[in-house]
Amino acid sequence: MKRLAVLTSGGDAPGMNAAIRAVVRMGVARGFEVFGARHGYTGLIAGEFVPLGLRDVGGIMQRGGTILGTTRCADLKSDAGRDEALRQMQSHNLSQLVVIGGNGSQAGAYSLSRKGLSLVGVASTIDNDLVGSDITIGAATAIDVALESIDRLRVTASSHLRGFLVEVMGRDCGYLATIAGIAGGAEAIVIPEASSDPEAIAMEMRDAYARGKSHAIVVVAEGAKYDAAALAQYFKEHEARLGFELRVCKLGHVQRGGAPGVADRMLATRLGAAAIEHLDAGRDGVLLGVIDGKVVGTPLGDVVGRTKPLDMSLLELARILAQ
């Protein structure tokens, strides 16, 4: 019987479990025996494999996080770590691998692929910065969580005539902040891809009050030069001149923990099933994502070391809609 392993790596994302479920059930349907590597590449290197059957993945699709666990594994960056990963695969008679994760995870997958391991990657990161997919597993749910928080904060901001700085995740990518900011009606959005000036942010907030608004919401990406802490410090130092009080809310890892919505469940299911189809047909060494509504395999070599650019026209749209 054909035997393969599946692992989740890097930051957890809502929908990972749905992808695992699809890999297992499509794998069984195609005649594979499927095993899960515990704790990402760390478990792969340690040989921590658990069998996954149809019932083992029952009832997990609606759960956030990953039942297999995940880590960021520095050992895989070394030749010794990669060689041990391959040795563990061989010693457990596992010939193929599915890697569910983001940029770092797919870089690790590429390094193993170059050593001859048959594998495919599945695009999964709330940051949505992977080349090879219009949207990645977890991003839609993370936006929904951020949006719900922004909506709730707006109620308090309006009641107290106050400004809020809402910091969202996304590392060096402003996708989450941009989409959540537009959908949440933010007065300003601060992201790493565009230069930001505290004075300009202050001006936008003052203008919002001058136009009769009872509050001001600024959505800030954690990777921006002026993140929420830096902006708050600047506003505190110039409070007398700027003339208004600010509160800071860092959403942090709460964005990762939501139960996946329908978009992420469907995306993860499609990509997990496609992973088995690709491996069964010998189309390995690719990252699976969705482009223009279709599942597409992009060579891992074209993915690693690149970051998907943000559509900067969205910032102008946000500015116009904030008036």
**Which of 127, 129, 144, 284 is flagged as catalytic?**
127
**Residue 127 annotated in active site:** yes
CA distance 173 to 310: 8
Q: What are phi and psi of 304, to 5 degrees?
A: -65, 135
Coil vs helix vs strand at 272: helix
List CB contacts of 311: < 8 A, sequence separation 6 or more.
none
Angle of CA points 159, 161, 163, to nearest 5° = 115
DSSP 167-235: EE--TT--HHHHHHHHHTT-SEEE-TTS---HHHHHHHHHHHHHTT-S-EEEEEETTSSS-HHHHHHHH
Handedness of CA 104, 142, 297, 48 (dihedral sign): positive
Query: With contact defined as beta carbons under 8 Å apart, do 258 and 142 qualify?
Result: yes
Query: With contact defined as beta carbons under 8 Å apart, do 112 and 82 qualify?
Result: yes
CB atoms within 10 A of CB 32: 20
Query: With contact defined as beta carbons under 8 Å apart, do 4 and 95 qualify?
Result: yes
Q: Looking at the annotation, which residues are catalytic?
A: 127
